[in-house]
Structure 1
């Protein structure tokens, strides 16, 4: 089981709505409904033995803008931490806007795979774009400290070979796609919803 990262672009007013009504994240990620947890030890016992069912509470239907966000998302697969390191030179969210990809700001507490979804508001997306738009991929790779990546235990670093031309070609194409994705989001004053999802198969980048 691996960890993938997906970014979805949404209008700022939709992010504001999700922050005010975080249970809507269930519809945003395609869950049908939330269930009310058992309130007492007896309720828990009855649920566990199948004599009582938890009741659905607020039900949210997936709206059209949610579907559009799904269709236009950017999937980093399991290379998100390697990609983050190339942008920020760190393993965490300690430098802004360089480390924006690993923002810790969460939307509610609904688990979307590995914890709740994170977000960047439209101003943060704008700042992130201003930083990334000035970057050159070859410059990033030339300054890549592979030993530091291993020392920091960057996720999935074992599948990344900075001397493999085929991997670098793929990564450069992905970098260009991300720059375009980010630029369009900034131009439209969109926000980001960032999800850590479950991946069943782990494979080396060279097999992508």
Structure 2
């Protein structure tokens, strides 16, 4: 099992809807993804029964806005290193540097590793400006494996080749900046989910 981070575009209206109906977060996060087959759902239910896990809650459907794009940003397991390199804090930090973790929890609905968090339209714009002020080379100077180990930054990959790590983190930084720009250009906020 791994902890992964996903950012998904969200209008102010949808963020308000999600705060009003937190159980709809699952449908929101799955919107735009391929539908899960009946076979997949049956297999998941069987595994849950075998492991004595509670069943998945029923899906709550509410109307969501239509968006000009339906992709999302995925940091996968690099989220913690990315967050630490941006904020300098392993567990939190101040916005906009700590924006990857979001700001406002969407109720208490667990999406994998706690509730999803929302960044408003203005917070997303602030984060975009923060990222735009930081070029790739300056960002990669913050990749110090000894510091990552010292702060117990997930995942434990800090003994890998530094050039390989820089290439991987440089690419994910570029993707993050491009995704945040796209959200800001369309006047959108974001939902941050750890799954």
What TM-score comes out, normalization by structure 1 length? 0.72
Total equivalences in the alignment:
173
Cα 1:26–1:169 shift into 2, 3 Å: closer
- Give 5+ residue unaligned stretches, structure 2: 32-54
Match of 1:193 in 2: 191
The equivalences for 1:48-197 within 5 A come to: 59-60=60-61, 65=66, 71-158=70-157, 161=160, 163-164=162-163, 166-197=164-195
Cα 1:111–1:126 shift into 2, 3 Å: same
- Deviant stretches of 4+, over 6 Å: none
Q: Is the 8 A contact 1:106 1:117 kept in 2?
A: yes
Match of 2:28 in 1: 28
Cα distance in 1 for residues equivalent to 2:153 and 2:145:
10
- Give 5+ residue unaligned stretches, structure 1: 32-53, 198-208
Q: Helix, strand or coil: the match of 1:98?
A: coil
Q: Is the 8 A contact 1:26 1:60 kept in 2?
A: no
Q: Is the 8 A contact 1:28 1:62 kept in 2?
A: no
Q: Is the 8 A contact 1:8 1:72 kept in 2?
A: yes
What TM-score comes out, normalization by structure 2 length? 0.76
Cα distance in 1 for residues equivalent to 2:167 and 2:62:
41
Larger Rg: 1
Cα 1:9–1:87 shift into 2, 3 Å: same
Pairwise CA RMSD of aligned residues? Answer: 2.9
